[in-house]
Structure 1
Amino acid sequence: MAVAWQQQIFALDARYNAHRAPNHANFRTLYIRRRSQLLRENRNLSPEHLKSYLKIRGQLLQKRYGSPLDQPSIGHSRSMSLRSVSRVSGDFGDARLNIQNTGTVSGLVPTKQADASRAIVGGNSIAENYAFTGVHHIFDQHKSSVVMVKFANNDRSRLLCASSDGTLSICEVAVEKPYLAAVLRGHTQPVTGCDWSASNDLVASCSQDGSVRLWDSKNGTCLRSIQDKLLCPLQCCLFQPTNCNLVITGNNKGELRIINVSTGRAPLGGYCRVGGSVLSIGCDINGQLWWVGTNKGEIISITCDITGRLRKVRKFQIAGNNCLITSISWRAWISREARDPSLLVNCSNNKLALFRVMDKEGNLQLKWSFNNKQSDNNMIRSTFCPIMSFRQGACVVTGSDDGQVYFVDIERPPNRAIVTVLQGHANASFGLSFNYDESLLATSDKEGLVIIWRRAS
């Protein structure tokens, strides 16, 4: 109970932080870090004292600075209906999958019957499993928004951060004193995406300067820089999961391209055009099926064979033409109870949506949607929780325009789906990533702050 009050105090300070020394971002960051440290040092205070302190501090801050920054509200989502998939001429099919104002819950993983799986995690409720003890550390090495954070594969400690200031950084976080291990410099414009190779020895990044770069993750040196064929900004990149020589990129002109980072060239057939601007990419565990999100409210499924040849298969109109698909995450849901491949999607019409992957061509079926604060100006992202298949309930995490980080149970109706809310960012929360054992969660925001949250064991 005391932890909850401490988090509310921290959130209150974060909301007012932009009012402090508005021309000195470094001071504001130092101040909020010190506030977090003081809260950690006073863990023995009773909930009653913390509650009283929160009330008094709120009154003092309001008297000193006035009302806190206005938070964006959920806009009116576009009204749409669900239609079945229809095949058109050739191999490319169109469909309209429209996100309703009310979500649907049907055919999810039957974890309520999974007594053996629940026993593995002690039979705790989903809220107990995702309780956090507070802030583990705060990083402030970036001068502009941190658009993406990613823990290394099957790694507890190494965290990759991509920033609009044109740099990337690698942090060691699962240690007594977290520290900045390396800063990757080379891009001349904002970094828009990044990824770890399967073995974590390489890092790929893309930027609005039109280049994709390959880095040595151990010493931070740039091994290769490859320019986009059309010299236009790149918005996202991912390693091919089974071949770290191949990186897939998407640019502002709607082109998807696979690049062999060893040669700097695209394999034969490793290119396709999807239209609009490619903003997000997701793929299955084998890299054979990909989904691409655009700024036209569309998701396109694409197959990729062993040689790197790309082929468009289906196009789904998720929302209106001006809606941005900012994040796509794939999950196999493999457990002893069921297999239910799914996509988690963030849309700028204030929606977090979950789709079932129906077949090997990437056909999608809407399963559930949730009202989430997201405007066209912010690249909000979401992710599945790593160990969800062994617990009652199925939890996903998303950032939002209001700076809060929401843990949402997709087995519940949307109006009762929120499990936990982390409050600490004063601006829109963009990136988020769990380490593989869920002991730490990293989140980032529009001001360049990266917060490492410690989950209760």
Structure 2
Amino acid sequence: MAAPPPAVPTARPATVGGGFLDILHFLKQTAGVLFGSNSGILSRTASVSSKQSDSERHVRFAEPAYSFVGMHCIFDNCKASVTILKFGRANSDLLAYGSADGSLTVCQVSDPPSVLQKLIGHSKDITASCSMDKTMRVWEISKGTCIRVVYGVSSQLCICFHPVNNNLLLVGNANREINAINFSTGRVISKLTFDNAVTALDIDHTGQLIFAGDAQGYIYTVSVNSHTGSLSRTHKNKSCKTKSLITTIQYRTFSLVARCPVLLSCAQDGNLYFFSIATNAHGYLTVICSLKLASPVQSIRASFCPLLSLEKGEFIVTGSGDSNVYFYDLARPKSSCVNKLQGHGSPVHGVAWNHGENLLASSDSDGTVIVWKRAKSN
């Protein structure tokens, strides 16, 4: 049973103008939300709620696997839906999120929580780290200025950096393509055409396999050359029968259930699929199990949860249309929901764990981002 929403503490003014010493490192490691334009920083004060009181923080949820002590902080500077958010891949304190008004916010969640920059420039939705306005924009966060714009011929829908070759950027677009782009020059060095718009991407830890979801629910495996960036399609998975747009593709190197690398996909209609990956067969996907969410929202996203132990199940976390954050155990075909977090006032779209796996961020259609603090394991 989830605890009721706690009272919001006195808002703390957020600072604007902080930055990072190594901007390119942050951009590459965030690998999700990093583009905007040079229209300038929004000089305003964002409301940031700090941690709860001691009495509120000691609330424990029913499921020991994923217990939370409450809200760590709240960011409510956005006035439009926050559709995507990412922590820095090797940093537990940096969080970036994109809003439907075309803005990108970069903040720190360590005490005191604060907004470092709000970047304005994209004219339409920011999805992942690229935009519906057909551009990809690279920012120097410390100055809040745009240092590179890569123009496309269609909406840029998803993006990821290559884990081995940091100069290689992989972008899916509405023109049914995945483009391999040289990050330094902005030039397209290789492209691959698919049957539908490419809406979600992830890549394995070796950098040899890309997994892509499209607007009709198909999932593709693509081989990539880490040195040249050349792309070649190897498999097409048709497990999703509803032909619903794929919003989430997430790779994991090891699964307790499958005992091999796995892939999580989430579709707009709330269908989740959990695949095993045959690395010796060029990334062939086999469905292990599937799950239908009860209250899906149009741009719902899902994420793997941190591994607990070698005895526990396979947990995922998702947003929902009923304003809750849900946790599911894929190892339990029946009664798979093991916990939920209550606190949002509108449908929840995005979810993301930080590098230290002690904080979970969630975003909603009102523009609110809540950072939840996970209870320490015994």
Range class of TM-score, shorter chain: 0.7 to 0.9
Aligned to 2:167, the other structure's residue is in SS state strand
Aligned to 1:43, the other structure's residue is in SS state helix
Structure with the greater alpha carbon radius of gyration: 1
Q: Who is 1:445 aligned against?
A: 364
What amino acid is aligned across from residue 298 of structure 1 in structure 2? Y
* Pair 1:369 & 2:290 matched: yes
Change over 3 Å in CA distance of 1:297–1:291 after alignment to 2: same
Q: Who is 2:100 aligned against?
A: 164
Q: 1:265 aligns with which of 181, 184, 187?
A: 187
State the 1:223 CA deviation.
Answer: 1.8
How high is the sequence identity, in percent, across the aligned residues?
34
Aligned to 2:63, the other structure's residue is in SS state helix
State the 1:254 CA deviation.
Answer: 0.9
Q: Who is 1:65 aligned against?
A: none
State the 1:148 CA deviation.
Answer: 0.8
CA contact (8 A) 1:403 1:429 kept: yes
TM-score, length of structure 2 as denominator length: 0.81
Q: Who is 1:379 aligned against?
A: 299
Q: Give the 4+ runs in structure 1 shifted more than 3 A.
A: 4-7, 44-47, 217-220, 387-391
What amino acid is aligned across from residue 309 of structure 1 in structure 2? S
Q: Is there any run of 5+ residues in structure 1 with no aligned partner, and where?
A: 12-28, 48-124, 195-205
What amino acid is aligned across from residue 344 of structure 2 in structure 1? H
- 1:232-280 deviations in whole A, cap 9, x for unaligned? 111111111112211111111211111112111112xx10111211111
Q: Who is 1:192 aligned against?
A: 127
CA contact (8 A) 1:253 1:275 kept: no
Matches within 5 A, 1:86-101: none
Q: Distance in 2 between matches of 1:219 and 1:373?
A: 43
Q: Who is 1:411 aligned against?
A: 331
Matches within 5 A, 1:30-69: 40-41=52-53, 43=55
Change over 3 Å in CA distance of 1:389–1:272 after alignment to 2: farther
State the 1:155 CA deviation.
Answer: 1.5
Q: 1:297 aligns with which of 205, 214, 217?
A: 217
CA contact (8 A) 1:380 1:398 kept: yes
Cα RMSD over matched residues?
Answer: 2.8
Q: Who is 1:434 aligned against?
A: 353
What amino acid is aligned across from residue 207 of structure 1 in structure 2? S
Q: Who is 1:343 aligned against?
A: 263
State the 1:221 CA deviation.
Answer: 2.8
State the 1:427 CA deviation.
Answer: 2.1
CA contact (8 A) 1:347 1:374 kept: no
Q: Distance in 2 between matches of 1:44 and 1:446?
A: 25
More strand by percentage: 2
What amino acid is aligned across from residue 239 of structure 1 in structure 2? F
Q: Who is 1:221 aligned against?
A: 145
- 1:148-185 deviations in whole A, cap 9, x for unaligned? 1111012121001111111111111022x210011222
More helix by percentage: 1
What amino acid is aligned across from residue 349 of structure 2 in structure 1? F
Q: Who is 1:146 aligned against?
A: 82
CA contact (8 A) 2:58 2:69 kept: no
Instruction: Work out the number of aligned pairs and report it.
Output: 336
Q: Distance in 2 between matches of 1:273 and 1:142?
A: 35
Q: Is there any run of 5+ residues in structure 2 with no aligned partner, and where?
A: 9-45
CA contact (8 A) 1:399 1:406 kept: yes
* Pair 1:280 & 2:200 matched: yes
CA contact (8 A) 1:427 1:447 kept: yes
CA contact (8 A) 1:351 1:373 kept: no
CA contact (8 A) 2:239 2:287 kept: no
